[in-house]
């Protein structure tokens, strides 16, 4: 069994976001995580009521367990990478769904 999250982002700076991806992938691998699907999207047709968040990138990220996912997102090295690249390249992030597979 594994744990997966479906994420929607509003990426503001594609180049800086790609730098973020490159910098965080080794840390992600240390936590038995990997990207699954990854899409750029141009239009959101339906979103929950009262949700006016823009989304132009949708992807899945998989972990061997929920504990591994939680460890990854609280890892000090990851938080440094997030602050350096993610914060200035992404306008908003939305967890669309999370589930065990």
In the chain, where the domains are located: 3-41+61-100
Question: What's the length of the chain?
Answer: 101
pLDDT confidence bin for 50, thresholds 50/70/90: low
Residues 3-41+61-100, CATH architecture: 2-Layer Sandwich (3.30)
pLDDT confidence bin for 88, thresholds 50/70/90: very high
pTM for this model (two decimals): 0.91
13-38 confidence digits (pLDDT tens) = 999 999 999 999 999 999 999 999 99
**Terminal Cα-to-Cα distance of the chain (whole angstroms):** 6
With beta carbons less than 8 A apart as the criterion, state whether 1 and 101 touch: yes
């Amino acid at each position: 069994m594994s744990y997966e999250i479906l994420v929607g982002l509003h990426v503001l700076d594609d180049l800086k976001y790609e730098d973020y991806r490159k910098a965080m992938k080794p840390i992600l691998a240390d936590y038995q995580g990997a990207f699954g699907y990854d899409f750029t999207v141009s239009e959101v047709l339906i979103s929950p009521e009262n949700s006016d968040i823009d989304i132009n990138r949708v992807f899945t990220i998989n972990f061997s367990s929920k504990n591994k996912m939680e460890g990854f997102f609280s890892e000090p090295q990851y938080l440094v990478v997030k602050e350096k690249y993610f914060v200035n390249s992404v306008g908003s992030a939305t967890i669309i769904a999370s589930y065990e597979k």
